[in-house]
């Protein structure tokens, strides 16, 4: 928790739950990534947190943006981003969205199927195309391999077809999964992508861009490799795979730039002992849960570190749950959270490194609970 966030949390005047984000920390994370990977252009994954103050901070820092919808394209442009610095990086897009993005000046689009390629050719003629390669997401806490990506042979075929359709075959992308703990995942994907470059080159097509995606991890409860280690190993893999012919490299960090810049402040609703089979133990219920923005606690995938201002009190492990009248609104049962044993209704806790995805996953009124408020400081 940064000093600004600690002060904000300790004041305790705002109603909970709320998200507070330190914009200086966002800018610091961006600078650290650029220093670690000076050979890559950062395209912030807007879906991680599309708040205007974050987008404007990154526009000032000269970042590009990875947009997943036409709404995100509009948000980037409203924040002052140039259309040339926007990549429409969702392989599933409505024709109307493609057409609007193209009319706004966006020229960079992704696809992973021929059907999507045909839509882009029709509604964004002359656009730059890159294909999304499906890769193994082993090592990621939040895998993304079940819905997106094509085989290497399909990617090569799509790039050849793009040329026939009057589009510009530009490059290849991959995503090794969110909160990826293993640099080796990037290395294998880079070599797979390099073979696609070689395949299409044999047909007279020169690709000039490789998008290494995001997935760079942040520390929740367990330590993770530093970004400098990822950068070093990725850089070496790029040299091995491409040599002097290294293409323009894009990266798409989301979580890495904003997670550690934010905290969620929540109040205790109930501290209770439960005894029925399967429920045994001490339970702590907060005023935020899976439907209030903590969707990434599904299967306890993302394990937030949670602290109280009363950490000096004796602690015990709690099952942690949200406030809604839904049986799946349980955050941590296997990975219990140690907190002061005497927490009571109204006491406040902070979920650390919560700047990514929480606001966008927050429901608009499940059980009547309002979305958490947001504060950018």
Q: Where are the domains of the chain?
A: 23-259, 260-376
Would you tell me how many other CB atoms lie within 10 Å of the CB of residue 113?
15
pLDDT confidence band for 145 (50 / 70 / 90)? low
Residue 170 has pLDDT above 70, yes or no: yes
Same fold, 23-259 and 260-376: no
Those residues with Cβ within 8 angstroms of residue 97's Cβ, 6 or more apart along the chain or in another chain: 69, 70
With 0-12 / 13-18 / 19 or more C-beta atoms within 10 angstroms meaning exposed / middle / buried, residue 25 is buried
Per-residue model confidence as pLDDT tens digits over 99-144 = 999 999 999 999 999 999 999 999 999 999 999 999 877 767 766 6
With 0-12 / 13-18 / 19 or more C-beta atoms within 10 angstroms meaning exposed / middle / buried, residue 125 is exposed
Domain 23-259 has CATH 3.30.70.1450: no
Instruction: Determine the Cα–Cα distance for residues 155 and 176; give it in Å rounded to an integer.
Output: 17
Those residues with Cβ within 8 angstroms of residue 20's Cβ, 6 or more apart along the chain or in another chain: 5, 8, 9, 262, 263, 265, 374, 375, 376, 377
How is 241-293 classified by DSSP, letter by letter? HHGGG--EEEE--SHHHHGGGEEEEEEEEEEEEE-STTT-EEEEEES--GGGT
Whether 325 is catalytic is yes
Q: How far is CA 276 from the centre of its chain?
A: 38
Quote the pLDDT of residue 313.
Answer: 76
- From the candidates 81, 111, 155, 325, give the one annotated as an active-site residue: 325
Per-residue model confidence as pLDDT tens digits over 74-92 = 999 999 999 999 999 999 9
97-101, 213-217, 368-372: which has the highest mean pLDDT?
97-101
Quote the pLDDT of residue 10.
Answer: 83
Q: If you ran DSSP here, which 8-state letter would residue 234 be given?
A: H
Q: What CATH number matches the domain at 260-376, 1.20.120.160, 2.40.37.10, 3.40.50.740, 2.60.40.1080?
A: 2.40.37.10
* Interior/surface letters 255-294, b for 16+ CB within 10 angstroms, e for the rest: bbbbbbbbbbbbbbbebeeeeeeeeeeebbbbbbbbbbbb
Instruction: Determine the Cα–Cα distance for residues 267 and 284; give it in Å rounded to an integer.
Output: 10
Instruction: Determine the Cα–Cα distance for residues 22 and 371; give it in Å rounded to an integer.
Output: 20
Question: Look-up: residue for tokens 């749950």?
Answer: 321
Average pLDDT for the chain: 94
Per-residue model confidence as pLDDT tens digits over 328-363 = 999 999 999 999 999 999 999 999 999 999 999 998
Instruction: Determine the Cα–Cα distance for residues 369 and 323; give it in Å rounded to an integer.
Output: 9
Tokens of 257: 């730039």
Quick one: how many helices (H) and strands (E) in the chain? 11, 18
Q: If you ran DSSP here, which 8-state letter would residue 297 be given?
A: G
């Amino acid at each position: 928790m940064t000093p600004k966030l600690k002060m904000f949390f300790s004041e305790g005047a705002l109603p909970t739950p709320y998200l507070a984000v330190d914009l200086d920390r966002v800018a610091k994370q961006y600078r650290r990534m650029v220093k670690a990977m000076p050979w890559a252009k950062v395209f912030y994954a807007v879906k991680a947190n599309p708040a205007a103050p974050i987008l404007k901070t990154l526009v000032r820092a000269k970042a590009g943006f990875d947009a997943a919808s036409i709404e995100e394209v509009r948000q980037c442009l409203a924040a002052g981003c140039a259309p040339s610095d926007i990549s429409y990086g969702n392989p599933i897009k409505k024709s109307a969205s493609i057409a609007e993005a193209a009319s706004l000046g966006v020229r960079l689009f992704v696809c992973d199927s021929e059907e999507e390629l045909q839509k882009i050719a029709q509604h964004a003629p002359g656009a730059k195309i890159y294909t999304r390669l499906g890769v193994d997401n082993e090592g990621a806490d939040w895998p993304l391999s079940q819905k997106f990506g094509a085989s290497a042979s399909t990617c090569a075929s799509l790039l050849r077809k793009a040329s026939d359709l009057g589009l510009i075959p530009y490059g290849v992308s991959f995503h090794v999964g969110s909160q990826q703990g293993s640099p080796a995942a990037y290395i294998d994907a880079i070599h797979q992508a390099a073979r696609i470059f070689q395949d299409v080159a044999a047909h007279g097509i020169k690709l000039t861009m490789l998008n290494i995606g995001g997935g760079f991890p942040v520390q929740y409860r367990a330590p993770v490799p530093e970004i400098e280690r990822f950068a070093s190993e990725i850089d070496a893999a790029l040299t091995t795979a491409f040599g002097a012919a290294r293409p323009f490299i894009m990266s798409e960090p989301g979580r890495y730039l904003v997670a550690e810049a934010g905290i969620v402040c929540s109040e205790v609703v109930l501290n209770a002992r439960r005894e029925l089979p399967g429920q045994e133990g001490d339970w702590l219920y907060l005023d935020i849960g899976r439907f209030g923005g903590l969707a990434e606690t599904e299967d306890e995938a993302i394990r937030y570190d949670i602290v109280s201002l009363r950490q000096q009190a004796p602690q015990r492990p709690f099952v942690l749950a949200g406030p809604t009248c839904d049986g799946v609104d349980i955050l941590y049962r296997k990975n219990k959270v140690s907190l002061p044993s005497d927490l009571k209704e109204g006491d406040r806790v902070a979920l650390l490194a919560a700047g990514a995805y929480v606001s966008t996953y927050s429901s608009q009124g499940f059980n009547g609970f309002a979305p958490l408020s947001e504060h950018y400081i």
